Structure 1
Amino acid sequence: MKKILTLVMVSALGGILTLGAYKLFIEEDKTLVVDAVEAQPTLIPTSTTNALYKPYETPDFTQAAENTVNAVVHVKNVTLSRGRMTFEDLFRGRSPQRAQLGTGSGVIITPDGYIITNNHVVDKSQELSVTLNNNKTYEAEIVGTDPKTDIALLKIEADEELPVVTFGDSDDAKIGEWVLAVGNPFNLTSTVTAGIISAKARDLSGNASQAFIQTDAAVNPGNSGGALVNTNGELIGINTAITSQTGSYVGYSFAVPSNIARKVVNDIMEYGNVQNGILGVMGTALNSARAEDIEINDTQGFYVSSVEEDSGAEKAGLRKGDIIKKIDNIKILKFSDLKGHLSTKSPDDVVDVTFSRDGQLETVPVRLIRNQTSVLPYVGQIKNVKPKELKKYKAKNGVKISLLDENYAEYWNKNGIKQGAIITAVNDIKVNNVDDVQNIIRNMSKYDSFRIELINEDGETERYNFK
């Protein structure tokens, strides 16, 4: 029994000596690391610059808001609308009118009083005034408008240098980026709301004529024409529209990108109208259904179905079947991507077009041209005419019918009018190019009759009137 007890004691003593030697000479000393970890507080103050973890912090909008509110103005527009007719009005042959006040917002872009807003804010105005954030009110004049982009340029004569908002690059804006909407909803002046960019190049028309920035910043009636700015206070959009069944904000708002707005106002200031540069291609944006229809495997990009004669695209070598993947640094996933970027460009600008042909990517520079084609109601597609074509028809001016409207083709064929006929006047106004025709149509009322004068292939002048 004593031998067993002695053996146990010796074994225990040996184990203690072995463990002690390991701890003393072999194991690394980790005391400092453990102490460092234990010294970290459970909750780290936000002022600690070397903290390992930081609590969630929202962006600071105060500086951006302070810089913007003083440069966003309240626009008031007095229009005349048809009033209720009384028996006395009917007896005297009068057409009663009543004044109606509309309000919106605008953004000062130059210290001497140029203001950008929406066309629909100032449309049909009889009286137009602008109130600054310091409560000073000035009469405003319309310098120019572009209904297509819903942008208008105003001018006031102030007695002081005005605060301005600096233009940012809307192409650089990212989905998920914080933004501020500044305006005057419901006559609540200098209102600021925040949100994120929800989407870019959003089209609400269904015909790919728009390329809005979509946000979830609250925008309501009266915000139209106001500023959409990033956290640096840079203007990246002009708040323009909401989609709502009630007429008030329900979660999404839309702004014209600043690059488009800046291009429009620059053109208005320099030329008096908007100078659009076009690529010279026609086609369709791809998806699975369209790719199947034209029997290709690619489902992303813009499929070129035709290339306009004498266009920059033709001269650069683009042809039917090419799929445009990118213009400059903009990926083309839908037609509004293409339309939106080209809306920032002018005739003679050069863009880099990346396209796929037979599965191979190529990039070519393309010089943009002025718009050569348009659509004329009741007629179809029209195009600028070359001098030799005018000479052939013995015409001094006009535009050419390049494609008859299929809904009226039978009517024109019955009257002997074919593609190639020269339209010399619209509503009794001589036309020299597509721009002239577009200006006439733009100024027409829906109640106006529509008259055209043309020269047929026999050199005979004919006139047609549509109600």
Structure 2
Amino acid sequence: MRPFRSTVARAALLGVSFALVSPLPLAPAFPRAVARSAPDSFADLAARLLPAVVNVSSTQTITAKAGSPGAGPEMPIFPPGSPFEQFFKDFLNRNRQGQGGPGGGGGGDQPRPERRAQSLGSGFIIDQSGLVVTNNHVIEGADEISVILQDNTTLKAQVVGRDESGDIALLKVKADKPLPTVPFGDSSQSRVGDWVLAIGNPFGLGGTVTAGIVSARGRDIHQGQYDDFIQTDASINRGNSGGPLFNMDGQVIGINTAIFSPSGGSIGIGFSIPSNMAKNTVAQLRQYGHPRRGWLGVKIQQVTPDIAESLGLKDASGAMVAGVTDGGPADKAKLRNGDIILKFDNQDVKEMHNLPRIVADAQVGEEVPVVIWRDGKEVTVQTTLAERPNDTQLASADATKPVDTTKPTDISGLGLKVAPVSSDLKDKFSLQDGQKGVVITDVSPNTPAAERGLKPGDVIMEVQQGEVASPADVQKQVDAARGADRKFVLMLIQREGGVQYVPLSLSNVPAGKDKQPG
């Protein structure tokens, strides 16, 4: 059908007519979207890439005692009352007895024969000498690893290095000739809608090529703190793990790692580690045998609109410092609780989860600028990054002398009572020796404190980024926030799960008159 030429012409075709009294304003002109046509065939590209994609086979020896988890077949799950339930129960009992289980001649505690478990995945060659990249979960716990080339040549592989957090592994094989390779590309240049090819070993079938597009970028699937996946609808199944995702130039822009699937099969939602993240890690594995990620030494939390308002920050962006590791880079740079990191190494920190990735990619030992929001203004500090340690539990509390017991005090307008730390309260709420702050002893229902989930035993460490040691300190900071027309007052709360900043709503209740439920 030809395009409609005018509003009147369109109305006539629909069986109605009208007259225009005055000209209508023209619609704004938008750039015309032009899509490139799909390739006639991916055959030439696939033929060039397939030789560099390998199957990765790993085996693991498993020894189990009779009756222990994994010792034998388990009871399938049946609906209650199913006739198959007793059938399988009898079958399994006979099977265990015949192998030295309960009632058998061999004794239930005798070790069962070792068995070999095998897993299959994919990988790709990045160096002619035999360096192969795959996922760490493909070879995790393996006793033996083999790499199978396209011509079915099987080569024993050794682990050069592994990155458990990033799920990347680098293998090395020895071949009698230079091996075909594929290069890493720039994943930042890939756009949603670009064509991609996935090549791998789904279900052990060998070199399999599937095509699709980049469906989304920057996906956080809650697999780790460095999540930044490329999402694709190219068919990815079990066994594709560790295989490459190619752009149309034959460059690796991702490592196929995970799928979203209720059934276990492909439904068109696959996730790949971006090449820009992977190639930095691979270079470190090649040089050091382990990843060397930058480390700042802070615990962070999301900046909510309520927190932003309480601190006079225009936008709810950045990462809020909720803890500083003693002696770490942040501590040496004088970062403190309540600082909001807006930029790190000249990169904007739009959300909390952006910061770990930016810090991890920074060079260890490099001095970088950090822009923070503190005391109502931007401040820039310099910090020298350290290498992230294996044990991230480095923070320790300074010992201070507890304050004597006093009567709990109401904090006006918030619906809570607080008291200094005392031996009685430490015993009652299982507080640690040397506990700092002020203890919440009571929370009234239907109040700002109750709405935010505060409860007796929580400890107020700071109010409006200022340390508090007595109920008077808390009340003073609350009154100051109310006097500055703040809608929220920000408190640093310590509880069993750690520390967290909590904004409490400041109602219009005058100071000294607590809000009562009604």
Alignment of 1:132 with 2:132, yes or no, is no
Equivalent residue of 1:217, what SS?
A: coil
In the alignment, the residues of structure 2 paired with residue 350 and residue 69 of structure 1 have an alpha-carbon distance, to the nearest angstrom, of: 43
Residue 348 of structure 1 corresponds to 365
User: Is the CA contact 1:118–1:240 (under 8 Å) kept in the aligned structure 2?
Assistant: yes
Aligned pair partner of 1:57 in 19, 34, 37: 37
User: Is the CA contact 2:225–2:357 (under 8 Å) kept in the aligned structure 1?
Assistant: no
- What's the TM-score, normalizing by structure 1? 0.62
Alignment of 1:182 with 2:199, yes or no, is yes
In the alignment, the residues of structure 2 paired with residue 157 and residue 65 of structure 1 have an alpha-carbon distance, to the nearest angstrom, of: 25
- What's the TM-score, normalizing by structure 2? 0.56
In the alignment, the residues of structure 1 paired with residue 346 and residue 57 of structure 2 have an alpha-carbon distance, to the nearest angstrom, of: 39
Aligned pair partner of 2:274 in 229, 236, 257: 257
Residue 87 of structure 1 corresponds to 98
Alignment of 1:324-363 (within 5 A): 324-328=341-345, 330-355=347-372
Equivalent residue of 1:382, what SS?
A: coil
Alignment of 1:274 with 2:288, yes or no, is no
In the alignment, the residues of structure 1 paired with residue 369 and residue 268 of structure 2 have an alpha-carbon distance, to the nearest angstrom, of: 36
Equivalent residue of 2:132, what SS?
A: strand
Alignment of 1:113 with 2:136, yes or no, is no
In the alignment, the residues of structure 2 paired with residue 178 and residue 351 of structure 1 have an alpha-carbon distance, to the nearest angstrom, of: 37
User: Is the CA contact 1:63–1:233 (under 8 Å) kept in the aligned structure 2?
Assistant: no
Aligned pair partner of 1:382 in 389, 394, 401: 394
Q: Which amino acid aligns with 1:266?
A: A
Alignment of 1:215 with 2:232, yes or no, is yes
* Structure with greater helix percent: 1
Q: Tell me which structure has the larger Cα radius of gyration.
A: 1
User: Is the CA contact 1:373–1:382 (under 8 Å) kept in the aligned structure 2?
Assistant: no
Q: Structure 1 unaligned runs (5+)?
A: 1-51, 376-380, 386-408, 420-467
Q: Which amino acid aligns with 1:181?
A: A
The alpha-carbon distance between structure 1 residues 113 and 290, as it changes in their structure 2 partners (threshold 3 A), is farther
In the alignment, the residues of structure 1 paired with residue 193 and residue 142 of structure 2 have an alpha-carbon distance, to the nearest angstrom, of: 37
Shift, 1:72, TM fit: 1.0
Q: Structure 2 unaligned runs (5+)?
A: 1-31, 63-69, 73-95, 398-425, 436-518
In the alignment, the residues of structure 1 paired with residue 55 and residue 396 of structure 2 have an alpha-carbon distance, to the nearest angstrom, of: 42
The alpha-carbon distance between structure 1 residues 228 and 351, as it changes in their structure 2 partners (threshold 3 A), is farther
Residue 77 of structure 1 corresponds to 58
Alignment of 1:258-337 (within 5 A): 258-288=275-305, 291=308, 296-313=313-330, 318-328=335-345, 330-337=347-354
The alpha-carbon distance between structure 1 residues 285 and 137, as it changes in their structure 2 partners (threshold 3 A), is same
Corresponding residue pairs, total: 339
User: Is the CA contact 1:83–1:98 (under 8 Å) kept in the aligned structure 2?
Assistant: no
Shift, 1:305, TM fit: 3.6
In the alignment, the residues of structure 1 paired with residue 353 and residue 195 of structure 2 have an alpha-carbon distance, to the nearest angstrom, of: 23
Shift, 1:270, TM fit: 2.4
The alpha-carbon distance between structure 1 residues 54 and 106, as it changes in their structure 2 partners (threshold 3 A), is closer
In the alignment, the residues of structure 2 paired with residue 215 and residue 361 of structure 1 have an alpha-carbon distance, to the nearest angstrom, of: 39
The alpha-carbon distance between structure 1 residues 55 and 344, as it changes in their structure 2 partners (threshold 3 A), is closer
Shift, 1:63, TM fit: 5.5
Q: Deviations over 1:122-180 (max 9, x none)?
A: 12223321111222111222223222111112111111101112122334444444332
Residue 49 of structure 2 corresponds to 68
**RMSD value, Cα:** 3.7
Equivalent residue of 1:194, what SS?
A: strand
Shift, 1:281, TM fit: 3.2
The alpha-carbon distance between structure 1 residues 164 and 314, as it changes in their structure 2 partners (threshold 3 A), is same
User: Is the CA contact 2:364–2:386 (under 8 Å) kept in the aligned structure 1?
Assistant: yes
Q: Which amino acid aligns with 2:100?
A: D
In the alignment, the residues of structure 2 paired with residue 293 and residue 352 of structure 1 have an alpha-carbon distance, to the nearest angstrom, of: 25
